[in-house]
Amino acid sequence: MTISAFPPGQPESGRAETVAVTAGRRTVYLVVLVVLPVLTLAAAVPAAWGWGIGPRDAVIAVVMYLISIFGIAIGYHRHFTHRAFKCRRPLRIALMLAGGMALEGPVTLWTAEHRRHHKYADRAGDPHSPWRYGDSGLALLRGMAHAHIGWFYTARSRSSRQRWVPDLMADPDVRRFDAAYPAVAALSFLLPAAAGGLWSMSWTGMWTALFWGGLVRYAVVHHVTWSVNSIAHTFGDRPFRTRDRSSNVRWVAFLTLGEGWHNWHHVDPACARHGVLRGQLDPSARLIRWFERAGWAYGVRWPDPARLAARRVEAGPGTSGAGAGPSGAGPGTSAGRDPGRPARGGERARGGERDGVRRAPPRV
C-alpha cells in the first residue's frame, strides 16, 4: 500500500496554512527536540547501569513525568486542541502549565501543528505522517523517523497560528503563557532540582534530581509523546474505520496515559475518552471524569455509543482493520468533515455546544 497522495517534495498545504521557519529557529528545534533528548537518554543508560537511580530521584522523576504527560494529554491535546471539555480558569491555567513542563513548545504552536495533523492525517499536508515516503521497508522506516522527530528539523514551514488557533490567540491567558514559555521551561528543570535539594538537603541531591527528574524525564516524555505520531500511525489494531492509519498500541497507551488509543481519537477527535473499548485503560479520561465530578470541568464530550457502533469494523477475523490503510476505509468513513478542523467564528468544529453535548454514560 502506498499513499500516492504524497507528491515528491513538500506537499502543498494551501493558502496561509503554514509559515516559513527561520534557520535559527530550526536549529533551536534541532537542539531541543532532537539532539538533546537523544544525548540525555544515551547518558542515562550508563548512569543507571553504573550508579543506579535512588528512590528519591525515582519519585521526583515519576511525579514530573505524570505532570508532563497529563499536561499534554488532558491540557494541550484534549482541552486546548480539541476542546473535548471546558473547565474553570484555575484548572485551565494549571493544565497549560503542566503541559508546558513537557517542553514540547508553547501551547499555540503545539495545537496548531496538531490541528493540521488531524485535517490531513496521513495525506499530503500532514506535518508528520510515517507514510510520507511510501510503505516499503526502508521508506516506512524513513517515514517513521520523520514522524517521530525528523520533521521538527526538516520542515521548512510551521502551521500558522493565525490560521489554526485563532481561538487560542484571542485568549489573554494563553498569550501570557506563550510569552512566559521560557520561564515555564526553566521551571521544568528548577522544580525537580529544588525538590531533590530540599529533600536531601544536599547539592548532590539537587544535581541528581535535576538529571533524572529534569533531563531524563523530559527526554522520555518527548519520545513517549512522539510515539503516538510514529508508532500509533503505523502498527497496532484499527477497530474503527478511519481514512488514515491511526491505530491502537497498548504499550504506547500505557506510557501516554491513554493517548495510544489513537484509532478512535481520529474518528471522534473531540471525544474526551480515547480508550473506548473494553480493557482500554485511559487514565487521562479518568482524571477528566474526576474534574467533572469536582465541578472543575464541564461540557465534557463523552463517547456516543451510536457513533461507536456505526464506525466499528465488523467483528471476527480482521477486526483490527490493520493494513486497510486510508484507501481501505469503508464507504462513508470520511463522514464529510475534517475531524481536527479548527473552529470558525467561535463555533466548534463539530456542531458546537449549543447542538447538545453528548451525554452518553461514560465508562469511567
Q: Give the integer Cα–Cα distance in Å for 363 and 54.
A: 37
In the complex, what is the shortest distance from the CB of residue 113 to Zn ion, in angstroms, rounded to a whole number?
Answer: 10
The answer for residues whose C-beta is within 8 angstroms of residue 101's C-beta and 6 or more apart is: 64, 67, 68, 71, 184, 187, 188, 191
Q: Give the integer Cα–Cα distance in Å for 40 and 92.
A: 31
In the complex, what is the shortest distance from the CB of residue 196 to Zn ion, in angstroms, rounded to a whole number?
Answer: 34
Instruction: Name which of 217 and 265 has its Cβ closer to Zn ion.
Output: 265
Q: Which residues of 37-66 are buried (b: 16+ CB within 10 A; e: fewer)?
A: beebeeebeebeeeeebeebbebbbeebbe
Q: Give the integer Cα–Cα distance in Å for 243 and 269.
A: 13
The binding track of 208-237 with respect to Zn ion, each residue x by CB under 5 A or -, is: ------------------------------
Instruction: Name which of 60 and 270 has its Cβ closer to Zn ion.
Output: 270
In the complex, what is the shortest distance from the CB of residue 245 to Zn ion, in angstroms, rounded to a whole number?
Answer: 9
Q: Which residues of 240-270 are buried (b: 16+ CB within 10 A; e: fewer)?
A: bbbbbbbbbbeebbebbbbbbbbbbbbbbbb
In the complex, what is the shortest distance from the CB of residue 41 to Zn ion, in angstroms, rounded to a whole number?
Answer: 24
Of 30-38, 94-102, 199-207, 242-250, which part binds Zn ion (CB under 5 A)? 242-250
In the complex, what is the shortest distance from the CB of residue 265 to Zn ion, in angstroms, rounded to a whole number?
Answer: 6
In the complex, what is the shortest distance from the CB of residue 60 to Zn ion, in angstroms, rounded to a whole number?
Answer: 29
Of 54-62, 138-146, 239-247, 327-335, which part binds Zn ion (CB under 5 A)? 239-247
In the complex, what is the shortest distance from the CB of residue 251 to Zn ion, in angstroms, rounded to a whole number?
Answer: 17
In the complex, what is the shortest distance from the CB of residue 122 to Zn ion, in angstroms, rounded to a whole number?
Answer: 8
In the complex, what is the shortest distance from the CB of residue 356 to Zn ion, in angstroms, rounded to a whole number?
Answer: 22
**String of DSSP letters for 92-157:** HHHHHHHHHTTTS--HHHHHHHHHHHHHHTTSTT-TT-TTTT-SSHHHHHHHHHIIIIIHHHH-SE
Instruction: Name which of 234 and 246 has its Cβ closer to Zn ion.
Output: 246
Of 61-69, 91-99, 241-249, 300-308, which part binds Zn ion (CB under 5 A)? 241-249
Instruction: Judge whether 264 and 251 are in contact, CB under 8 Å.
Output: no
Of 199-207, 244-252, 319-327, 342-350, which part binds Zn ion (CB under 5 A)? 244-252
Q: Give the integer Cα–Cα distance in Å for 146 and 126.
A: 11
* Cα–Cα distances in angstroms (integers) from residue 19 to residues 53, 160, 162, in the given order: 43, 5, 10
Would you state the cell numbers that stand for residue 353, as one nine-digit string? 455546544
| Binding positions for Zn ion, 315-334, rule CB under 5 A | none
Count of residues that interact with Zn ion, criterion CB under 5 A: 1
Of 201-209, 246-254, 275-283, 354-362, which part binds Zn ion (CB under 5 A)? 246-254
Instruction: Name which of 208 and 246 has its Cβ closer to Zn ion.
Output: 246
Instruction: Name which of 227 and 246 has its Cβ closer to Zn ion.
Output: 246
Q: Where are the alpha helices (H) located in the chain, listed in sequence order?
A: 23-29, 36-50, 55-70, 89-100, 107-120, 137-145, 151-154, 161-164, 166-169, 172-179, 181-200, 203-209, 217-230, 250-255, 262-267, 283-294, 305-311
Instruction: Name which of 92 and 243 has its Cβ closer to Zn ion.
Output: 243
Would you state the cell numbers that stand for residue 60, as one nine-digit string? 521526583
Of 87-95, 240-248, 253-261, 280-288, which part binds Zn ion (CB under 5 A)? 240-248
Instruction: Name which of 232 and 308 has its Cβ closer to Zn ion.
Output: 232
| Binding positions for Zn ion, 153-172, rule CB under 5 A | none
Instruction: Name which of 185 and 228 has its Cβ closer to Zn ion.
Output: 228
Would you state the cell numbers that stand for residue 124, as one nine-digit string? 499530503
Residue whose grid cell is 479520561: 285
Instruction: Name which of 206 and 221 has its Cβ closer to Zn ion.
Output: 221
Instruction: Name which of 126 and 292 has its Cβ closer to Zn ion.
Output: 126
In the complex, what is the shortest distance from the CB of residue 205 to Zn ion, in angstroms, rounded to a whole number?
Answer: 38
Residues that bind Zn ion (CB under 5 A): 246
